[in-house]
Structure 1
Amino acid sequence: MIWIGGIIVILTFYAIIKRWETRMVLFVSGLAMAAIAGKILDVIDAFAKAMVNGGLVPVICTVMGFAFVMKYTTCDRHMVQLLAGGITRMRAILIPTTVMVTFAINIALPSAAGCSAAVGAILIPTLIRAGVHPAIAGSAVLAGTCGGVLSPGSAHPPFIAKLAGTDVMSVIAGHTVAAIICALIGAVSLMVIAIMRKENKGCNVELCEVAADTAEQFQVNYIKAIVPIVPLVLLVLGSKQLNVLPAVSVPEAMIFGTILGLVVCRCNPQEVSKEFFNGMGSAYGSVIGIIIAAAVFTRGMELIGLTGSLIEVMKHSEQISRLAAAFGPMIIAILCGSGDAATLAFNGAITPHAQDFGFGISQMGSAAFLSGTFGRTMSPVAGAAIVCSQLAGVDPIELAKRNTPGMIIAAIAGMLMLL
C-alpha cells in the first residue's frame, strides 16, 4: 500500500503543477488513499475538524476581512505611496530598497498577488523612470513579496503555532531574523545581477513607456497611511517577546484596525461591514479551503502508511530531513506557482514529528514555510510574478531568471539558521 500511496502523492503534485484546482486535487488524493486503506470515514472526520479549527479560522478570516476594508478605504494605497515616496532619494541602493519596502508592505498586505498589484503599480514605473530595466524593476517587487512570512495573517504561522502548542507571534518571532536576512540576501543578489547585466541604469526609454505611464500623482494622507500597520504594532507590542502592552489576539487586533479605519476615513458603516465579511468569506473559501483539503491529504497519507515510512527514513538521517524541509516545498512551489499546497502538506505530515529528527516543531515548520515562499518568489507561473511582469511589460520568465540565484542562496541560509 505504501508504494501505491507514493504514486498517488506524485500524481497529486503533478496535477497541482498542471494547474488543476488545488483543493479538489488534495481532497480526492486523500480520499483515494483512505479508501485503499479501508478507512474512508477517517478523512471525512479530518475534513470536519479542519473546518472549525479554532486556531486558524478566526485568525485568517479576520485578517482578510481587515485587508478588504483597507482596500475599500484606500488606506493600503496611502501606506504604499508613503513608503514609496523616499525610494527615489536612494538611487545608489534603489533596487534593494525596493525589495525591502515591498517586503515591509507585504507584512501588512499578506496576499502576494494583492501586494504586487498595489506596490508594483507605483514602484515598478518609479524604477523604470530612474533608468532600471523593466525586468529588474518587476523582479525587485516580486522578490519583496516574501515579506508575508512575517504576517500573522498568512495561513502558515497559525498552522505551525497549532502544531507547536504556542502562539502565532512566537512562531513569527522565531523566524523573523532569518526571514529578514534572507530577504536582504535576495535584495543584494538582485542588485549584483542588475549590475552584472548592466540593467541597473540607462534603461531604454521607449522600453519603459507603457509601464511608466501607469504612474500617477497621489496626495498621501498620513493618518490613513498609518492605519494598516496599527494591528501589527499592537500584536508586536503585546507579544511575549516585548510585553509592552496587554496581549491581544490577532482577531482582536484586526477588528480594532477595522474600526479605526472606519473612524479615520468616515466611510459608510454598512459598506465597511459588507467589505469585512466579504473578506472573511473570501479567506474561508480560498485559504481555509486549501487547509481543509490539505488536512484530508495528510490524513490519507497517514492511513495508507506513507507518512510513517517517510518519518522512519528521515529519522536515520538528520541531513535528509533538513534538506526535505529546506527544498521540498520550494521545488513544488517553483513548478506550481504556489507555496501553500506543498508547505501545508509537508507541515501537516512531517513537521509534527520534528523532534524525532532532532529539530523543534516551530523551527522545522518555519523552514518549510520560508522554503515554499522562496520557491513561489522565483516561479514564473505564480500570480505575483504574472502581475509584476504585466506591470513591467516583460515575460514572467525574465523575472524568475533574475530572482532565482538570490532565492536559492536565501533558502540555504534559512536552512542553516533555522535547522
Structure 2
Amino acid sequence: MLSLVIALIVTLGVGYMLYKKYKPQGVLFAAGIILLFCAAIFGTSNIVTAKQSTGTVWLDIFVAAKLLFSSRLAGLGLTIMSIGGFVRYMENCGANKALVEMAAFPLKHVKSPMLIMVVAYIIGQIIDLFIPSHAGLGLLLMLTIYPIMVAGGLSKLTAVTIIATSKFTDIGPLSSNAILAATTAGLDPVTYFIKYQLYAVLPAIVVVGAAHYFAQPWWEKREKKFNINVFTEADESENQLDSNKKVPAIYAVLPMLPLFLVVIFSPFFHTGIKLDVVSAMILSTIVAMVFEFIFTHNAHLVLNDIMKFFEGMAKQFRVVVSLIISAELYGLGLVKIGAIDSLIALATGCSFSTHIIVLVIGLIMVMCAFIMGSGNAAFFAFASFAPKIAGVLHVDSVLILLPMELSAGFGRCMSPITAAIVAIASIAGVSPFHVAKRCAIPVILGFIVHMLAIYYYFL
C-alpha cells in the first residue's frame, strides 16, 4: 500500500501543477524521476535490466530515461515528427486551405441555417482524417467555413462550437494518439483505424451531430432569455494562417495523399506492397514539391521551403514527442514503484468485470483530458499501462487502449483551457467557457454511445 500512497501523493502534485498551468513535459518528467528515486530507495524492482545497468541503481535511473529517449525517437517519435513536417509543409504551400475550401464549397449553396450547421459538422469530421492537429484544423475551419456559417444565419458561438467538436476524437492513421495506441497494441495504424476505431466512433459521430441540432437552438433561446453575455474581445492575431495566398484547386489532393498511400499499401488490403507512415510522408512531400515547382517555376523557393518540413518535425518533437517521453517516464516510475501492480491487484480483488473497468478507464481519461486541456497529455500518461491491465483481465490490449485513446478526445472538447478552443474562441470574440459549455451535452451523449459501441462490438 505504501507504493499506492506515494504514487497518489505524486499524482496529486502532478494534477495541481498542471492545473496551475505548468508545462506538462516538465511536470511529468520530474514526477517520473521522483518516482524512480523512490523505487530505488525502497528497492521495489530493478530500474533497468542487469545487462543495461551501470552498476549503481542511482545512475540506472538516468539510463532508463535515456532508453526511453532512444526507443521513442527512433520509432514512434520519428513517425509523429514526419507527420508534423508534412502538415507544416501543407500549411505553407496552401494545400490544407485548398482542401478545406473544396470541402466547404457545398455550404455556399445551402440556405437553411440548421442545414448549414449539419453540413459544416460533417465536413469537419471528414477533414479531421487529414489534419491531425486539433488547433490546426480549428484555425483552418475558422478561416474558411466559419464565415459561411455566420453569413448563413448561425450565431458566432454556435459556429465556433461546431468547429470545436470537429475533432472530438483522435481517429485515423495520421493521429499521434492513434499511432501510439496502435504501436502499443502491436497493430498497424491502418488496421487499428479500420477494425477498431471506426466501429467505436461512427455511432458517436452521428449522435454528437444530432445532439448539436437540438442542443444549439436550445442554448440560443436560453442565452437570449437570460441575456447572457457570451462575447469577449476578438483577437485576429490568433489566426496565423495566410488567408490571401491563392493556390490551384488541384492542391486539395495533396493532404489526402499520405492517407491514401498508407491505407492502400497497408497489410489490411494485402496488396503485396508495404509502405510505412514515415515513407509515405516523405514521398508525399516530394510530390508536393513537384506540384510547387510546376505552378511556381521557382526552384529556389521550392528547395528553400523544404525547411518548413523540418520546422514541422522540430515542433512535433518539442510539443508532442517530448510529452510522450515525459509521460512514459512518469508511467515507468509508477510501474517501478509497484503502484500499478497494487492498483491492479486491488481492482481484481474487488472482482470488477471487464465492462466496469473499461468504463472506469474511459471516465478517468475524460477527467484527465478535461483538467489538462489536452488529449495527448492524458493518453500519453496512461497508454503504457494498458498491456498490463489487459493481461490481468485476459483480454487483448487494444480493448483497453481503444477507450483510453478515444475518451481523451471527449474530455478535451469540454475543457475551456484546450488550446484549440481558446484559439478559435478568441478569433470569434466569444468566451471559451461558453464554447466548452455548448460542447458538453453533445460530447457527453457521444461518450455514452461510444462506450456502448465498444461493449457491443468488442466486449
* TM-score computed with the length of structure 1 as normaliser: 0.91
Q: Is the 8 A contact 1:380 1:397 kept in 2?
A: yes
Structure 2 residue aligned with 1:111:
133
Residues 135-179 of structure 1 show CA distances to partners (whole Å, capped at 9, x for unaligned) of: 1100000000235x2233322222222222221212222112322
Residue in 1 that maps onto 2:181: 160
What's the counterpart of residue 275 of structure 2?
Answer: 248
Q: How does 1:197-212 map to 2 (within 5 A)?
A: 197-198=219-220
Query: Between the two proteins, what is the percent identity of the paired residues?
Result: 24
The offset of 1:69, in angstroms, is 0.8
Work out whether residues 173 and 189 of structure 2, in 8 Å CA contact, stay in contact via their aligned partners in 1: yes
Checking the alignment, whether the CA contact within 8 Å between 1:139 and 1:403 is kept in structure 2 is: yes
Deviations 1:209-238 (A, max 9, x none): 9799x9978866221011110110111122
Amino acid at match of 2:7: G
Paired position in structure 2 for 1:21: 23
- When structure 1 is superposed on structure 2, of 99-108 and 15-24 the one drifting more is 99-108
Q: In the superposition, relative to structure 1, how do residues 191 and 291 fare at CA in structure 2: closer, same or farther (>3 Å)?
A: same
Instruction: Give the corresponding residue for 2:344.
Output: 311
For residues 24-39 of structure 1, what are the structure 2 equivalents within 5 Å?
Answer: 24-38=26-40
Larger radius of gyration: 2
Structure 2 CA distance for aligned equivalents of residues 239 and 115 of structure 1: 26
Structure 1: distance between partners of 2:360 and 2:370? 15
Are the structure 2 counterparts of residues 125 and 176 from structure 1 closer, same or farther at C-alpha, using a change threshold of 3 Å? same
Correspondences of 1:166-185 after superposition (within 5 Å) = 166-173=187-194, 174-185=196-207
* Cα distance, 1:167–1:216 mapped onto 2, change above 3 Å: closer
What is the CA–CA distance in structure 1 between the aligned matches of 2:20 and 2:433, rounded to whole Å? 17
Task: Tell me which amino acid in the other structure corresponds to 1:75.
Answer: A
**Cα 1:146–1:41, aligned 2, differ >3 Å: closer, same or farther?**
farther
1:311 Cα offset (Å): 1.5
Distance (whole Å) between structure 2 residues aligned to residue 35 and residue 218 of structure 1: 53
Do the aligned residues in 1 keep the contact of 2:233 with 2:426 (CA within 8 Å)? no
Answer whether contact 1:294 1:344 (CA < 8 A) is retained.
Answer: yes
Structure 2 Cα separation of the partners of residues 398 and 61 of structure 1: 34
Q: CA deviation at 1:100?
A: 2.4
Contact residue 46 and residue 295 of structure 1 kept, 8 A: no
Displacement after TM superposition at 1:306 (Å): 0.8
User: For 1:219 and 1:20, how far apart are their aligned partners in 2?
Assistant: 39
Q: Is the 8 A contact 2:330 2:381 kept in 1?
A: yes
Does 1:46 pair with 2:64? yes
2:276 maps to 1:274: no
- Relative distance call for 1:298 and 1:198 in structure 2 (3 A) is closer
Alignment match, 1:353: 389
Name the SS of the counterpart of 2:168 in structure 1.
helix
Alpha-carbon spacing, 1:85–1:209, altered in 2? closer, same or farther (3 Å): farther
- Residues 47 and 176 (structure 1), Cα distance of their counterparts in 2 relative to 1, 3 Å cut: farther
In structure 2, the CA distance between the partners of 1:127 and 1:322, relative to structure 1 (3 Å rule), is same
Distance 1:34 1:229, change over 3 A: same
Alpha-carbon distance in structure 2 between the residues aligned to 1:43 and 1:339: 28
Contact residue 370 and residue 415 of structure 2 kept, 8 A: yes
CA distance in 1, matches of 2:442, 2:89: 34
**For 1:359-398, what aligned pairs fall within 5 Å after superposition?**
359-398=395-434
Q: 1:303 to 1:41 in 2, by over 3 A?
A: farther
Q: Distance in 1 between matches of 2:244 and 2:305?
A: 26
- Counterpart position of 2:44: none
CA gap of 1:244–1:196, structure 2 versus 1, over 3 A, is: farther
* 1:107 counterpart SS class: coil
Residues 189 and 220 (structure 1 numbering): CA distance in 2 closer, same or farther, change over 3 Å? farther
Measure, in 2, the Cα distance between the counterparts of 1:150 and 1:264. Answer: 28
SS of corresponding position for 1:152:
coil
Superposed counterparts of 1:116-265, under 5 Å: 116-146=138-168, 149-173=170-194, 174-198=196-220, 221-244=248-271, 246-265=273-292
Other-structure match for 2:80: 60
- Alignment partner, residue 300 of structure 1: 333
Q: CA RMSD in A?
A: 2.6
Paired letter, 2:106: G
Asked if 1:83 is matched to 2:110, the reply is: no
> What letter corresponds to residue 284 of structure 1 in structure 2?
F
Which has the higher mean CA deviation after the structures are superposed, 311-320 or 12-21?
A: 311-320
1:235–1:248: 8 Å Cα contact kept in structure 2?
A: yes
Does the 8 Å CA contact 2:403/2:451 hold for their aligned counterparts? Answer: yes
Aligned equivalents of 1:44, 1:125: Cα separation in 2? 52
Give the match's secondary structure for 1:85. helix
- Secondary structure of the residue aligned to 2:267 is coil
